[in-house]
Amino acid sequence: MELYEILDEMEEVIKSATKIPLSGKVVIDPEYFLEKVDRLRAVLPEEIEEARSLLEDQQALFTHAQQAAQEIIDESKHQAARIVDNNEIIRQARSISEEIVAKAESLAREIRSEANQYAEDMLGHMERVLREGLASIQKGRSELKEIMKQENC
């Protein structure tokens, strides 16, 4: 992910920057740093779009699973309706159709649960990425302000 690469570059610049004696502060080229911040702003929408795409894929998977489950349910109902009106055959057909419906509903619940978990995991990951990026930007801006303040004094 380009976001991490930019953040790594920014971190490396801070780590390798010239240190101001006795202060623990460093000198950073503001132009370079601001260019990286601008690049982060450009990359974040890409990262968000990637998350949105993953959510759309998850929704498509969920919709497909629901359709498949509904087809199984419909087919089991049609099969049950076509069975000859004989007590034993009807009883067996009902048992089989109920089992098929129960399996289809169970499968639909399982697929729905997995799809929701996948979406939750992806959103959690994107939230962490965005938080880390924002924290890094805020830290960089704060350090840059301190440097600029010291240079003005």
Give the separation between CA 124 and CA 113, rounded to whole angstroms.
16
Type of residue numbered 134 = L
* Residue the block writes with tokens 């880390």: 132
Q: What is the pLDDT of residue 4?
A: 83
pLDDT > 60? residue 84: no
DSSP string, the chain: -HHHHHHHHHHHHHHHSEEPTTT--EE--HHHHHHHHHHHHHHHHHHHHHHHHHHHHHHHHHHHHHHHHHHHHHHHHHHHHHS-S-HHHHHHHHHHHHHHHHHHHHHHHHHHHHHHHHHHHHHHHHHHHHHHHHHHHHHHHHHHHHHHHHHH-
Model pTM? 0.38
Structure confidence by residue, pLDDT tens digits, 1-43: 677 888 888 889 888 888 888 888 888 888 988 998 888 888 7
Higher pLDDT, 44 or 80: 44
Task: Compute and round to an integer the Cα radius of gyration of the chain.
Answer: 29
Domain boundaries, given as residue ranges, for the chain:
2-145
| Dihedral, CA of residue 95, residue 99, residue 101 and residue 107, to nearest 10 | 180
14: tokens are 């801070």
Residues 144 and 10: beta-carbon distance below 8 Å = no
